[in-house]
Amino acid sequence: MDQPLIRDNYEVHHIPVNRMIDEAPEIRHEGDTTIIPVLEEVLVVEKRLILREELHIIRRREEHRDPQKVTLRKENVEVERVKK
């Protein structure tokens, strides 16, 4: 049996942003990259959101073959009709 096996590998990149924002951004996708915002609340006379960094998670798909020997079973059946 020679079937392709699929494996997903992921890389995580920390991308510094350090920018004041008004509201929390949503998780978003850009191609095979999922971007997850990492937030921190900072007290500066008033509370503000600072986008500290974004996690860029990149999906890489690999395909490889792993041939294996397997035993296949087989049955034969014969049917005879008997006339009355």
- Mean pLDDT, the chain, rounded, equals 89
pLDDT for the residue 15? 92
pLDDT for 66 equals 86
Task: Quote the pLDDT of residue 71.
Answer: 87
Residue 50: HSE in the Cβ half-sphere, 13 Å Cα cutoff: 12
Enter the tokens of residue 65: 């073959």
54, two tokens = 């974004």
User: What percent of the residues of the chain are helix, what percent strand, and what percent coil, each to the nearest 5?
Assistant: 0, 65, 35
Least confident piece of the model among 35-39, 43-47, 51-55: 43-47
pLDDT of residue 26: 95
Render pLDDT for 60-75 as a digit per residue (tens, 0 to 9). 999 888 888 888 888 8
